[in-house]
A and B are shown apart, each in its own frame.
Chain A
């Protein structure tokens, strides 16, 4: 069927005052659009009505809307799932940021419209990927507070849940816990926790199927199609589930390493967990002689916020120690209790608990503990550099010293999946912070490794600002202390959050939509396998492990694991990976359709490939804020800088474009890339562009990548100007006019 393109140019919101919209219709004519109309108020009922009428009467099946930014009015300009629609940004990135009526502004608009027309012509209607034999069950791995809460919440929301716990009974860390910190006003008294009631709630919940004494021995497949093997008592059961919540928790840091705090030198130096068990069992005695404990000292941050041990704060130990100090004060208000701390991080309403313990007469000493010593009479004394008197202080003799050790996530236990063999004679390379450790939690049958990729300290990697629950494996949501250090209350909230994410995942995937950050996207990458060279770059580089391999190294895509970032498309040297509305050829064609004036016009051209997540909105914001930017730039939004294929650079340079600027998110350990590795991969690829430039005998400065956050919008105009100046100083691209 012949493509029938309708072009609709809005002249409202200042566009008409900036551009001669009627004259721009000529561009639509060049590209043989079937219909081209202008409207002073395109998003109004009449404007949209006319488009709908054209669809009816003229059979328009491809639409270019040249009006406001694609980031707004998506609901108004929605003409059904089969419509191929392209939005050309005439408002924020043209009328609002370029001088009205100028020749440069007109040329910019013509190029933008041309690129839109090319893209819409090359795109095809979307056909969502619908999985087979869909399951919407939710697997929860780990039956502690987080796991139990997640399973109950998901089941109560109407989703069948499978709960796998390795212990013989549900409860996790709570099995050893005597009482909980306060959860409600006045936040001064401790809470009781009825673990039996929670276990009963789970066994009475028909939607929850529990495996205890069980492990997940393998997970294969993809969201809505995970095939899980649960091993229990030597037998294996199969479950097909839609999404997974990882709630395997954490373990206390190994106190035997805390030699500076004298752990192991006296039985009366115990860990917080050991003390908790004493209270739980009702046997609080001096371990050395079985006598009652008449005084106690707590040492907080025992091995935490310490580069030699755990560099991070475990966030719950302060409150946990306050709670335990309260145990002593409740039993006997006269008991001397010391708390040695670095910072008292009793956030939110726990401040009131801290205040209560101060009122109870606990001695708080702020500073580094420098020694825990035998005082010669069977007691212990703690020496500390007290920050608040700027002098060392020494406690009176105490019967028990309690070390508040931090949390180590279960995901951090295990050896790296891939270890680079050290070169002969060389030191072994340090383990990469994002390594996958074989921690025996999920045992994924994924080509990139059996568990979730970590970030620093072994916590599962997630986009820490925007998507804390997300892991780098679609459909798998870490929650509770395996995700981040947290207390009981936060763990409960976390469990609910993860349950909701899991539900969202199965619902969206089951109708062929992507989950975050391109939530609702129905496109997915398709592989033209005849031309695949089995180079493994896509399988290796996909940040989400979406692509498996067969034995011949052919990529085996799993569309429901895919986040639609296009990193594979950017990676593929054979350009065989395409989306129906985003492909190497399509963007290449857009670049080739930019009008490049010859060098005597002194109108350089700069191609800006802008990440849709932050950089493109920042450009919009610049326009909204009334800033103006360089008229030589031609902006093409991309899903992620990771989707940028190097061939586009070659396309642009051979076309005569003078410079190419890539605007994307921050990379590194504190990355802000919505696709985690996309920006970093783009950066790596750009360092390799040198070769291409050398071959073309071009300066490497012509290609540059910049990191832009959405809040940097005010810096973007300067960034563009400085790049333009640099390009100017290099002179015109010698390929101009060829």
Chain B
């Protein structure tokens, strides 16, 4: 075999793009073993090897740019949280993608998504003015100088019909609890979390810049997010850019309201429910208890923990831009999640992330289990019980 050339210039470029810890990797391979791709059959599962990909990156050796490999990671963080060397694996993936996407070589499937973000400020090809469509029939306050919280609704919940229900239930719960909050509206742009993860650094900078200017201009100090992805991005990506907001996920706010008795779930619901920890809420943001406290507050509800839960939760496969990927049936992580729920005896699989709801609903449908298992957003369950 012809030897492959080590290219230090390429390696240095990747490091510069954000793979600052790529050299820390000692190639133990724990990452590859923990990767959810090991749990499913199919070509990607056989080809995608995160250790190998980082190895190529470490030496600047060509080969990592193969689409199947480079864009397979859903940034679930299972590897990163367990890395014995503390390697920021997701940053390395992001930087390697950025090297390719930055050079104008984004995979064809992602191009319309990125284009929509450029044009409309959201990845769902929806016009800006439709951003507030979910509010129809509700009296959602506008964010003003006297408002405590800015409620940032994920683009998915602004444009996706299923997602809109989530935005509505969250907003109405906050209203019932007497929280001072408001939305800004059509000027809001996508947080850009997924755009950055797929490697479009330029787009992310554009979206984040616009949002920071907008939010700061409106006097935002505290933000409630509906999605854990927005939460994480505001707390981490945006903080790097100088943003200084107090950012919380809606489950944390609601858990506080329940504890204080400001909302009281009174309607009995004798159902068995499992909670799927979203990666960006659990592993990435360390929020595990608030959603469980909310579920336990519903009278009669029986919480059945999934075998893989909390730090060991299995990804729905929607992060890292994978929500836009075409994955053959039988190779979807979400299907395993539905089977997990079935094994725990749940009638409802609840979660608290719009991406997870999307992926799990698809998986439930592809397995034909809609009759035995209902996928619900936590806020919906809670709203029903009031």
Q: Which residues of A contact B (CB under 8 A)?
A: 336, 338, 344, 354-355, 358-366, 383, 386, 388-389, 391-396
Task: Evaluate contact between A392 and B3: CB separation under 8 angstroms.
Answer: yes
A395 to B55, CA, bound (A): 14
A358 to B27, CA, bound (A): 11
Q: Which residue of A lies closest to B9 (CB)?
A: A396
A520 to chain B, nearest CB (A): 47
A432 to chain B, nearest CB (A): 42
Instruction: Enumerate chain B residues within 8 angstroms of A366, measured Cβ to Cβ.
Output: 27
Task: Evaluate contact between B24 and A363: CB separation under 8 angstroms.
Answer: no
A338, A363, A394: the one contacting B3 at CB < 8 Å is A394
* Residue from A344, A358, A362 having most chain B Cβ neighbours under 10 A: A358
Instruction: Enumerate chain B residues within 8 angstroms of A358, measured Cβ to Cβ.
Output: 23-26, 85
A361 to B5, CA, bound (A): 17
Task: Evaluate contact between A393 and B58: CB separation under 8 angstroms.
Answer: no
Tell me whether B1 is interfacial, beta carbon within 8 Å.
yes
Chain A binding surface SS class? mixed
Instruction: Enumerate chain B residues within 8 angstroms of A395, measured Cβ to Cβ.
Output: 6
Q: A363 with B1: in contact, given A358-B23, A393-B6, A396-B8 (CB under 8 Å)? A: no
Task: Evaluate contact between B6 and A391: CB separation under 8 angstroms.
Answer: no
Instruction: Enumerate chain A residues within 8 angstroms of B303, measured Cβ to Cβ.
Output: none
Task: Evaluate contact between B27 and A392: CB separation under 8 angstroms.
Answer: no
A620 to B85, CA, bound (A): 47
User: 1/0 per residue B1-35: CB within 8 Å of A?
Assistant: 11111111001000100000001111100000000
Task: Evaluate contact between A389 and B4: CB separation under 8 angstroms.
Answer: yes
Known: A389-B52, A393-B6. 19 other contacts (CB 8 A): A354-B26, A355-B24, A355-B26, A355-B85, A358-B23, A358-B26, A361-B23, A362-B23, A363-B59, A364-B26, A383-B3, A386-B59, A388-B27, A388-B52, A389-B4, A391-B4, A393-B3, A394-B5, A394-B6
Instruction: Enumerate chain B residues within 8 angstroms of A389, measured Cβ to Cβ.
Output: 4, 52, 55-56, 59, 61
Instruction: Enumerate chain A residues within 8 angstroms of B55, measured Cβ to Cβ.
Output: 388-389
Instruction: Enumerate chain B residues within 8 angstroms of A364, measured Cβ to Cβ.
Output: 26
A362 to B26, CA, bound (A): 12
Q: Which residues of B contact A (CB under 8 A)?
A: 1-8, 11, 15, 23-27, 51-52, 55-56, 58-59, 61, 85
Instruction: Enumerate chain A residues within 8 angstroms of B85, measured Cβ to Cβ.
Output: 355, 358
Task: Evaluate contact between A359 and B5: CB separation under 8 angstroms.
Answer: no
B118 to chain A, nearest CB (A): 35
A388 to chain B, nearest CB (A): 5
Instruction: Enumerate chain B residues within 8 angstroms of A363, measured Cβ to Cβ.
Output: 6, 8, 11, 58-59
Task: Evaluate contact between B1 and A391: CB separation under 8 angstroms.
Answer: yes
Instruction: Enumerate chain A residues within 8 angstroms of B5, measured Cβ to Cβ.
Output: 393-394, 396
Task: Evaluate contact between A392 and B24: CB separation under 8 angstroms.
Answer: no
| Contacts A/B (CB < 8 Å), 17 sampled | A336-B8, A344-B26, A358-B23, A358-B85, A359-B23, A359-B24, A361-B15, A362-B23, A363-B6, A363-B59, A388-B51, A389-B61, A391-B3, A392-B3, A393-B61, A394-B4, A396-B6
Task: Evaluate contact between B8 and A392: CB separation under 8 angstroms.
Answer: no
Task: Evaluate contact between B1 and A392: CB separation under 8 angstroms.
Answer: yes
A710 to chain B, nearest CB (A): 36
B364 to chain A, nearest CB (A): 39
Instruction: Enumerate chain B residues within 8 angstroms of A336, measured Cβ to Cβ.
Output: 8
A344 to B2, CA, bound (A): 26
B15, B52, B59: the one contacting A393 at CB < 8 Å is B59
Instruction: Enumerate chain A residues within 8 angstroms of B15, measured Cβ to Cβ.
Output: 361
A313 to chain B, nearest CB (A): 19
Q: Which residue of A lies closest to B20 (CB)?
A: A359
* Residue from B3, B8, B58, B59 having most chain A Cβ neighbours under 10 A: B3
A361 to B14, CA, bound (A): 13
A344 to B26, CA, bound (A): 10
* Residue from A344, A360, A363 having most chain B Cβ neighbours under 10 A: A363
A232 to chain B, nearest CB (A): 51
A383 to B4, CA, bound (A): 9
Instruction: Enumerate chain B residues within 8 angstroms of A359, measured Cβ to Cβ.
Output: 23-24
Instruction: Enumerate chain A residues within 8 angstroms of B25, measured Cβ to Cβ.
Output: 358
4 pairs of A and B residues whose beta carbons are closest in the complex: A392-B3, A394-B3, A388-B55, A358-B23
Instruction: Enumerate chain A residues within 8 angstroms of B59, measured Cβ to Cβ.
Output: 363, 365, 386, 389, 393
A364 to B59, CA, bound (A): 9
Instruction: Enumerate chain A residues within 8 angstroms of B56, measured Cβ to Cβ.
Output: 389
Instruction: Enumerate chain B residues within 8 angstroms of A360, measured Cβ to Cβ.
Output: 23
A389 to B69, CA, bound (A): 14
Q: Which residue of A lies closest to B52 (CB)?
A: A389
Q: Which residue of B lies closest to A365 (CB)?
A: B59
Q: Which residue of B lies closest to A366 (CB)?
A: B27
Instruction: Enumerate chain B residues within 8 angstroms of A361, measured Cβ to Cβ.
Output: 15, 23
B87 to chain A, nearest CB (A): 9
B180 to chain A, nearest CB (A): 47
A336 to B12, CA, bound (A): 11
B17 to chain A, nearest CB (A): 15
Instruction: Enumerate chain B residues within 8 angstroms of A386, measured Cβ to Cβ.
Output: 59
Instruction: Enumerate chain A residues within 8 angstroms of B52, measured Cβ to Cβ.
Output: 388-389
B5 to chain A, nearest CB (A): 6
Q: Which residue of B lies closest to A392 (CB)?
A: B3
Instruction: Enumerate chain A residues within 8 angstroms of B51, measured Cβ to Cβ.
Output: 388
A347 to chain B, nearest CB (A): 14
A595 to chain B, nearest CB (A): 65
Instruction: Enumerate chain B residues within 8 angstroms of A388, measured Cβ to Cβ.
Output: 27, 51-52, 55
Q: Which residue of B lies closest to A384 (CB)?
A: B3
B29 to chain A, nearest CB (A): 9
Instruction: Enumerate chain A residues within 8 angstroms of B8, measured Cβ to Cβ.
Output: 336, 363, 396
A392 to B5, CA, bound (A): 9
Instruction: Enumerate chain B residues within 8 angstroms of A393, measured Cβ to Cβ.
Output: 3-6, 59, 61
Q: Which residue of B lies closest to A393 (CB)?
A: B4
A69 to chain B, nearest CB (A): 46
B6 to chain A, nearest CB (A): 5
B219 to chain A, nearest CB (A): 42
B95 to chain A, nearest CB (A): 15
B86 to chain A, nearest CB (A): 9
A344 to B27, CA, bound (A): 11
A731 to B243, CA, bound (A): 94
